[in-house]
Amino acid sequence: MIALTLAQIARAVSGTLHIAGADTEGTVLAGPVDTDSRLIEPGGVFVAKPGEITDGHLFVDAAAANGAAVAIVEHLVETRISQIVVSDAVQALADLAREVVARVRAHGDLKVVGITGSNGKTTTKNLLARVLQDEGETVAPRASFNNEVGAPLTMLRVTDATRYLVCEFGASGPGAIARLAGLVDPDVGVVLMVGMAHAGGFGGIEGTAKAKAELVHAVRPSGVAVLNADDPRVAAMASIADERGLTVRRFGTGPTADVRAEETETDAAGTRCTLVVDGARLPLHLRVLGAHHVWNAMAALTAAVALGVAPQDAVARLETVELAERWRMQPLGNDRVRIINDAYNASPDSMAAALRTLAQITGPDERTVAVLGAMSELGEYAGEEHDRIGELAVRLRIQRIVVIGADARRLFLAAVGEGSWDDEAVFFATADEAYDYLLTELRDGDRVLVKSSNSAGLRFLGDRLGESFS
């Protein structure tokens, strides 16, 4: 965080300052901000956020022991450090992030990019951060810090030297993206796609589209909207951008795209294509597994070009990225049994893309094995979407379908109904049972996809399989 006095922090969060020890209102802090007492560093700010399982107020002393200089709390606690009492700690975190970003913008050259979409946010964020970091100091979220806590924590990492802030915006319901993006008023807003991820929280895909469009509404005047020309719901957001006087830059595979992919080929070494950028043809070898990541790469490139990065430089940097993020199309195992751990999250669109990738990268003498768990947050659409994925796996000729968990049972039944018989599709109640089965079932030449939503926990099964076949 930038240097602020205790009094300035208190004003920013509309809190009441209670000074302890040798502190004064003018005491200057410049340490990091966190809600996890275990991650607090000397001089840091601890935000005591109440949680569903525990309460941050119980850990103020632990934060102080790790060097916290002040705690933002909803009620005073017994501790030796200064405290700022607020009515809502999460809102205070957001207010502090808004203040810090505004101060850096006021006397610096900070540019802010916001990224949203039903799928691909984290991969695109990492690709764009890799491109921008060679241009100047770049701050981007760790992992998937994209909610009401994670996004402000990312924003608070900016310093006076930061040139680019890349924000990832997720949403559990209407208005969430508007609130988060409104903290920073992005210069560039990137909308990747509108799919069924979290559709249960939005009342369907049209509600999801409206929520994602909140980012276009939040881009500052004279800013840039980067839109997926291949997704009709995203492409339609150009009308919002036009009404607000924004520049629209499109990516995709069609003729309207400013950044266009042609001649795409995918194998186990990644995806090769030709990118057409404002008439120039640039070859790209993207080593992140999966042809669907070409759209994420195009989105990152389009945003980077909008910020003034030379296209050829951006493409060269994209080619250095080998892994988007842990548990996202992460290659594990060995050359004989290759495990692809993509179980950090799952939606119908990302599940389908991962299954297609598995089919594409498996040679004629190799076997496809899909280890699949539940897709969460689909609400009333859960049953039919699990049916659709089970049917797709069979139509893609996936040779072994291993389904885990009661919430994914309809996927298994759909695969059987589509024609996956004679133990081609199997069901296990737990990951441990599936692990025991796979240890004896997997053989040389197998290409194994592990895919589920985070809540299903199959990412840890993927890690175990990767270790067993390393």
Residue 251 in 3-state DSSP?
Answer: strand
The answer to whether the Cα torsion of 430, 435, 441, 446 is positive or negative is positive
Structure tokens at 53: 């399982």
What DSSP character marks residue 325?
A: B
Please, are residues 343 and 422 in contact by the beta-carbon 8 Å criterion? no
Triad 243, 245, 248: Cα angle to 5°: 95
DSSP state of 432: H
Amino acid identity of residue 184, one-letter, is V
User: What 8-state DSSP symbol labels residue 375?
Assistant: P
Q: Percent helix, strand, coil in the chain (nearest 5)?
A: 40, 25, 40
Question: What does 327-367 look like in DSSP terms, one character per residue?
Answer: TBSEEEE-SSEEEEE--S---HHHHHHHHHHHHHH--TTSE
Q: Which residues carry a binding-site annotation for ATP?
A: 117-123
Residues 325 and 123: beta-carbon distance below 8 Å? yes
370 Rama class: left (phi>0) / alpha (psi -120 to 50) / beta: beta
HEC per residue, 119-159: CCHHHHHHHHHHHHCCCCCEECCCCCCCCCCHHHHHHCCCC
The residue assigned the tokens 């080929």 is: 265
Residue 284 CA from chain centroid, whole number: 23
Helices (H), 205-280: 205-212, 214-218, 232-235, 238-243
Residue (of 8, 67, 61) closest to 33 by Cα position: 67
Binding positions: 117-123
| 113 bridge partner residues | 166, 188
